[in-house]
A and B are shown apart, each in its own frame.
Chain A
């Protein structure tokens, strides 16, 4: 079994033309556009001017080890001006290579864009830290914090993957996260057991999803509308119960015992990687497991093949004896449960109580991560990490005091979203039947 068979190849028809005759391949090949090379060039020049020439004359310091690591590495000291110029030159070189490829009518490869983004982010970091009042941040802390902030996003986008892959658009991720957060808080408080709270959160997400599934699959109501209505409904219901029940008796209903961070001995002491992979709460570990399980499930198992078939061409699935609407129903429900677990992160791990609108629109960012990640669990995971990183960066950078107003930094995650979805990473192609109800005959 090879990976190339099962993994999706969205938006790249010319890549798979191994067997088509040459003339067909030549005709179906789309002309390579100027968009990517031009965008890269613009960003490289911006980097050179701002991060290179206008760099602060300071040294930026990046801490690599945390106090609890079992060995310590010295902090990375980089002269802001030198670092900025060196990285900008590399960026220019990459942009030039993209232009060269365009002239040969070849598209920019994926690694080029990824490297470019990484280098650009590095240049930006050096610039912003170098310009701060205290030009030093902990790189390890920055990354570990990004992962933490990304946890609900990852669960949310996995929920989106599960729903959209089977052909139902899930706009209700926000409502599922919020429902999960609320239920986790109230159940864990009443039972004094965070694990029961976690399970209850999954159930709550599933219930929200079942409503979506029922209305969109059985009654053929527009999926976007049901999703939006559900978000408003969950927000209203949890808000009402919060201000009436939870506020009245906080000790009984809104003081959930948290899920503690579980340190895996030795491994958690590895610098940088340790805190990310081996110093997480139960929900954090579940996140890694969920990403792996969903990916393997979708692309390597019978269940996944059927799910994808239903999302791409439900009629074909139907003629092969697959029950389209039942498959859709249970997958959407499962997706809701996954999002519910993500919601429990807010009240069982991040903060130890529920407040109104605690999910704060992260369900929508998760939706963007889903598209950015091209409907692939692993892609969605990294997209969510990127948003988590942007989110964390803006809070850290505000703390160390940069010349950039914090409001601008707060735009960062959304700016990244817009650029990403606008096609910097190539065309995204979602499941063909996503959002279209299936009616037999």
Chain B
């Protein structure tokens, strides 16, 4: 089926999220929408899927204009969507989730789930999905949940499948499997709209690339174009993707985590007997798929978690069990993973946000009074130093773009002498241009002799920044490997498979599985 979007415009109040967007998806084509976070890709797809009504423009299927009053209409017309955040009911079985909304029924509205189970098995066999129709969705790994979403679309005979940032939650191996599935679907005649900002995947699988920037189509690109070229199109100016950092000059070890365990409210060990060290002047990157204990690990170090055992030592002093304020005073700088929730107070001004953890110390405070002049002075200096694009230091932090908000948080945390710097997802949702800047600042902090810990779910970022890489899986440390370890090995580690020893081991070939899997991935 041919899909055409003609002049789609979507306004939210004064914000123009989509500005006369034209896209044509040919039958059996993988069409990539490339753009940064906030460029308007998801809005566009929600318009196409009937979740938003377009302010202007029309949608054509096989050259016939259609209007969708809701997702039901879009599905009936053969459009299926896999949302970035899965639309699955966790306490339902796979079959129930697939049936929902288009339930096969017997007399009097009784469900006929057997029919759904049969369809799931058929599709599952055809594409090698390996999905059990009777499993509860909440028990399934993320990758399998995504397949359930794809099955949902296929059961409804989707001719056009929209995948909205499908790889954000996947391990590299799962990503490769997904790309494979996409190729299979394509050869079966399904058109795919693939939304992403990850250049490697886009290049690998797309037939055509449409680049969107600030709600507008800025051009079409060939998948064979270089990543630098694509990145420049996406951002709108030349960017350098390579950090070219100098090798680390590690000094003595000043930060050590020993046998750290964090127990969640439900009794689960979200961080499980974790031990590692960081030396001054080196960056330890903690890799892993989202939700494998990274958040809890950083929160435990900061003193934000309650049920923690083990030991966290910085400069010979125990941090565990001390209040957050004392931890910060010990010289820990912390960039939280969600700047909007933990990093900033959106309604406070830029200047105020820059002193959130320094407000009670000189020169900003004297006794019970604060010095607004000093606060402004500090703000002006930091804004210049970190190139924060803001109308003024008095503007509310919430009005800045993602990249500038992140620079703001980073500016605050790096504005005092640090003994340890922790940055969680330092560049999530940040434009490519700012990423480069933020990375350089992190490396600069390292070169001043601060132990740095980076937590990132983006493998590219981990490989870029790390001097050593620690991989977490289900709260456990799978292993620590040097920088330059290959994607495949890291990918397997992120799935819980320990790295193969390169040094000869007494029992050779103790675990042959990684090798074969890695080959398979290369193949793909």
Binding site for B on A (CB under 8 A): 1, 4-6, 8-10, 13, 16-20, 23-25, 27-28, 30-31, 33, 300-303, 305-306, 308-309, 312-313, 315-323, 432, 440-441
Contacts and interface: CB of A to CB of B under 8 A. Distances in A.
Contacts of B135: 16, 18-20
B216 to A, nearest CB: 22
A158 to B, nearest CB: 19
A297 to B, nearest CB: 9
B93 interface: yes
A25 B139 CA distance: 8
A5 B132 CA distance: 12
Contacts of B350: none
Contacts of B268: 27-28, 30
B90 A5 contact: no
Nearest to B52: A441
Contacts of B88: 313, 316
B111 A1 contact: yes
Contacts of B95: 5
B316 interface: no
Contacts of A30: 266-268
A13 B138 contact: yes
Nearest to A299: B111
Contact of B100 (A4, A300, A316, A440): A316
A1 B113 contact: yes
A432 B102 contact: no
Nearest to A18: B135
Contacts of A25: 139
A127 to B, nearest CB: 37
B116 to A, nearest CB: 10
Given A19-B139, A27-B268, A301-B111, A317 B100 contact: yes
Given A312-B91, A319-B51, A305 B267 contact: no
B110 A301 contact: yes
Nearest to A427: B266
B80 to A, nearest CB: 10
B136 interface: yes
Contact of B71 (A20, A28, A33, A321): A321
Interface of B: 49, 51-52, 70-73, 75, 81, 83, 87-93, 95-97, 99-103, 105, 108-114, 132, 134-136, 138-141, 152, 266-269, 474, 496
A151 B49 CA distance: 47
A319 B81 contact: yes
Contacts of B93: 5
Given A4-B134, A24-B141, A321-B101, 9 more contacts: A1-B113, A10-B91, A300-B111, A301-B109, A301-B110, A316-B100, A320-B102, A322-B72, A440-B51
A17 B139 contact: yes
Nearest to B85: A315
A198 to B, nearest CB: 25
A28 B272 CA distance: 13
Nearest to B93: A5
A176 B229 CA distance: 66
Contact of B87 (A8, A20, A313): A313
A300 B110 contact: yes
A20 B140 contact: yes
10 contacts: A1-B111, A6-B111, A10-B91, A16-B139, A18-B135, A303-B109, A305-B100, A306-B100, A309-B89, A319-B87
Given A16-B136, A305-B103, A320-B102, A23 B87 contact: no
List the 9 shortest-distance A-B pairs measured between CB atoms, nearest first.
A321-B72, A320-B101, A316-B87, A30-B267, A19-B135, A16-B136, A19-B132, A302-B103, A313-B89
Nearest to A27: B474
Contacts of B267: 30-31, 33
A25 to B, nearest CB: 8
A399 B138 CA distance: 52
Contact of A315 (B52, B87, B96): B87
Given A5-B134, A306-B100, A321-B70, A316 B89 contact: yes
B266 A319 contact: no
Contact of B101 (A13, A24, A308, A322): A322
B235 to A, nearest CB: 28
A8 B91 contact: yes
A35 to B, nearest CB: 12
B344 to A, nearest CB: 24
A13 B110 CA distance: 27
Nearest to A306: B100
Contacts of B72: 320-322
B142 to A, nearest CB: 11
Contacts of B73: 321
A188 B269 CA distance: 61
A27 to B, nearest CB: 5
Contacts of B136: 9, 13, 16
B89 A308 contact: yes
A321 B111 contact: no
A19 B140 contact: yes
A439 to B, nearest CB: 13
B99 A312 contact: no
Contacts of B132: 18-19
A27 B91 CA distance: 19
A24 B49 CA distance: 35
B89 to A, nearest CB: 5
Nearest to A8: B91
A27, A31, A320 pick with most chain B CB within 10 angstroms: A320
Contacts of A441: 51-52
Contacts of B103: 302, 305-306
A8, A28, A316 pick with most chain B CB within 10 angstroms: A316
Nearest to A16: B136
Contacts of B112: 1
A316 to B, nearest CB: 4
A440 B93 CA distance: 25
A106 to B, nearest CB: 15
B99 A305 contact: yes
Nearest to B95: A5
A351 to B, nearest CB: 38
A300 B96 CA distance: 11
Nearest to A320: B101
A306 B139 CA distance: 21
B139 A302 contact: no
B140 A1 contact: no
Contact of A320 (B52, B100, B108, B474): B100
A13 B139 contact: yes
